[in-house]
Structure 1
Amino acid sequence: MKTLEFTYHLNDIDAIAFKVLEHLDSKIIIFNGEMGAGKTTFINALLQAMGSNDAATSPTFSIVNEYGLNDDKIYHFDFYRIESIEEAYNFGIEDYLSSNHWLFMEWAERIEELLPENTQTITITDIQDNKRFIELTLNTKIKPTKQL
């Protein structure tokens, strides 16, 4: 399993976003971290590093936000309010998972059984004084992906 670690000050978030982007092997990225750790803030930095003119906002109530790229799209999910897999099916999660667009997912453990094997995880930890620790891992799930 590949793991990369970065510690950075929030003033350096743009440079770290570029570094992380260089190491993404998947278009499906899971963002883990406590509430307020900076997941959406880091997603916004990634959007800018990818050349998007959009600004990331938390999709807690809308479940998904769409951001544009020159030749692609990014769908940013927040599954915090999802209470069942059926809710994910109701808004069409299977269409997003098979879309070949970028998928940035917060609170993805709520739909874990639907996630394909080719995901990467970015875990963000707030270590005080405007500093963050990021761990980037390539997921190596053994179980087959559930058929959608």
Structure 2
Amino acid sequence: MKRAFTISEIDSVARDLIPHFETKVIAFKAEMGVGKTTLIKALAKALGSEDVVTSPTFSIVNEYHMQGDKIFHFDFYRLKNEEEALNLGIEDYFQSNHWIFMEWFENIPNLLPENLDLVTLNLEKNEFRTLKLNNNLTITQKNAMEQQNF
């Protein structure tokens, strides 16, 4: 799935994106300030959460509730090493079968689950953003994409 949009369309983008996910583990790749947290906020709302969604930059993980499920929202930007993620119990989160939204997943490359969906955001001219969804990536595919700086 590919799509161009403005921030004012973010709720519609989130609603359109959800049916295209093939896993419940979603990695978000974008430069700082492009809108990862804003998209995650819209996704949580579209999934039915009424919780206030904020960036987990300092807490590392925020938990949001929805009918019959949860969303765990991670921001790995501040991690110094993968051991810090292990100390948080990241493996238990990955095995929880709840939604996992990850910002700065690149900081834990050796801990990522076998399969995940990748949402890549780019800021274009005139404040437009482009979104690309790659589904159900395996570790080999993730590594190849990282090497291409995708």
- Relative to the length of structure 1, the TM-score reads 0.90
Q: Distance in 1 between the 2:8 and 2:90 partners?
A: 35
2:55 paired with 1:83? no
Q: Distance in 2 between the 1:76 and 1:128 partners?
A: 29
Segments of 5+ residues of structure 2 without an aligned counterpart are 142-150
Quick one: which of 67, 71, 75 aligns to 1:74? 71
SS in 1 for 2:57: coil
In structure 2, the residue matched to 1:146 is none
Q: Residue 112 of structure 1: CA displacement? A: 1.3
SS in 2 for 1:103: strand
Q: Residue 62 of structure 1: CA displacement? A: 0.3
In structure 2, the residue matched to 1:13 is 10
Q: Distance in 1 between the 2:92 and 2:138 partners?
A: 23
| Residue type at the aligned position of 2:126 | D
The count of corresponding residues between Structure 1 and Structure 2 is: 140
- Relative to the length of structure 2, the TM-score reads 0.89
Q: Distance in 1 between the 2:126 and 2:140 partners?
A: 38
Moved over 2 A (4+): 140-143
- Using the aligned pairs only, state the percent identity: 49
Q: Distance in 1 between the 2:39 and 2:140 partners?
A: 29
| RMSD of equivalent CA atoms | 1.3
| Residue type at the aligned position of 1:67 | Y
Higher helix share: 2
